[in-house]
Structure 1
């Protein structure tokens, strides 16, 4: 099997290459980047022999799949190129910076019967999934009363669309466990610093569960917090490896095994294994496609509501 990585920015170098090049010995990895100098350095570091500076050359290279790690603005054109060529395609979130392009790409994937996989690693965090059983599959094994996902940053106010699609889409997708498509009952609150978005909060209720996502980019520190409440059972996680469980009016400290590698605790390992299986089978489950689309549609709705509040 031959799989190409397109784009060698920080996410590719930190989260993907260290894992994939040491785990999947049966995969021939190929690198592609317009940065020829950086391309040569990364290829040498990870002992990758085959490299290209133009992604269109990958078709003649006979790749079986591609993984797109380039800038968000380039995602639609590159993904469309490979889907039309009937090549299974992986894209780091977001698929695009607007819902229209996402919908068009999934129509293209369906037309050419190719899987279009999105890299939402927070769906795969082992520690959370161990305790919040099947929540990220949209089928919690207990009665889920509420799920709140906060992702905050220090001093990083930004453009509305970039803020929401490149960053806020993580907590938004993480609570969108039932693949919500109806945006009419979204409750959205936003705060600005000048003309830059500083904070956004979104909540709704679905299937009896209160779902809340929050991002404050004028927070005192970079931080992520997840809380979930079941019947008389409550969890709080302040990182990917530890948390608190409250039940029977008692407190229990929860801790992940300390030998777990960072990429495993952040969900990348499980996610990439799932992607490799999608390449092998050529099938992306319908519920994943629905959630991918709905999360981008929700992000679009949030953008419109936030921008309209500025006028």
Structure 2
């Protein structure tokens, strides 16, 4: 399988290349505008087919493409490959607005080609092992609440970047019912200073059937960290990392953890996500439920952007 990697910056180098370059049945093609980076990584990973313009990949006979470039470039690059009928992977977010996301999925549907989103937190093995597969959870199940909190130190930002580039992680992680609007949603926000230019904290929560869902982000926190908690009837889980957590049941607290020597990228869900992506490439199909959730998380993020902007003007 020949896969082109478009954009080989920080996220590609840290999260994807260490896995992809170890797969025997995958041949990689590198594409980035930075020639120094291109040559360095080509030498490191012994990749021989190199391009600096993604449009040149049309002659590379690729089976799929993975886009790890800047968010603003995603729609243009993804549309180029979808037009050619090439299975396309895009790091979250698909775009910095819901409109472009909708257009890209319309194009993918018209071309009958999968458009895959890189939400690695759907594939964290420790969470899915103990909470059930949250990617396909049935909200009629006894899951009573899910709270996903991602914090950063001293990193307030403008509203759209905050929500689409970062907050979309916890938001999508609790969006089990593919919610796409603000009906029934309770939203609170905090800004840094009095000018309201820098969004510092955002909390969004709603109820689906009997399940309470809550996504939270504080970017004026004391440390960068992530906390996940879930509750069932008389049973609860707390996670402060991707490798270990606690189960609270029968008035007892027990430690749960991944096996020793579990690779970090496996613990963070990247390995299972890449396996899933490769299976989608082979089948040429992406489940409709996954498409619905991908779209709805971006549509919900767009609605939240609008609401927060309204609160500023009020």
- Tell me the distance in 1 between the aligned counterparts of 2:17 and 2:280: 19
Where do residues 252-271 of structure 1 align in structure 2 (5 Å cutoff)?
252-271=254-273
Residue in 1 that maps onto 2:9:
9
List, as ranges, runs of 4+ consecutive aligned residues in structure 1 with deviation greater than 6 Å: none
**Number of residue-to-residue matches in the alignment:** 310
CA contact (8 A) 2:122 2:134 kept: no
1:214 aligns with one of 196, 213, 216: 216
Residue in 2 that maps onto 1:82:
81
- Tell me the distance in 2 between the aligned counterparts of 1:80 and 1:143: 40
Listed one character per residue, the Cα deviations across residues 259-297 of structure 1 (whole Å, up to 9, x for unaligned) are: 100000000000000000010000000000000000000
Listed one character per residue, the Cα deviations across residues 10-44 of structure 1 (whole Å, up to 9, x for unaligned) are: 1000111111101x211110000000111000111
Residue in 2 that maps onto 1:33:
32
Residue in 2 that maps onto 1:229:
231
Residue 144 of structure 1 aligns to a residue in which SS?
coil
Residue in 2 that maps onto 1:283:
285
Deviation of residue 140 (structure 1)?
6.2
Residue in 1 that maps onto 2:60:
61
- Tell me the distance in 2 between the aligned counterparts of 1:4 and 1:242: 34
CA contact (8 A) 2:139 2:209 kept: no
| TM-score for both structures, normalised by structure 2 | 0.97
Residue in 1 that maps onto 2:108:
109
CA contact (8 A) 2:181 2:299 kept: no
Q: Does 1:166 align with 2:168?
A: no
- Tell me the distance in 2 between the aligned counterparts of 1:212 and 1:179: 14
Deviation of residue 115 (structure 1)?
0.1
Deviation of residue 249 (structure 1)?
1.3
CA contact (8 A) 1:21 1:46 kept: yes
Residue 59 of structure 2 aligns to a residue in which SS?
coil
Residue 237 of structure 2 aligns to a residue in which SS?
strand
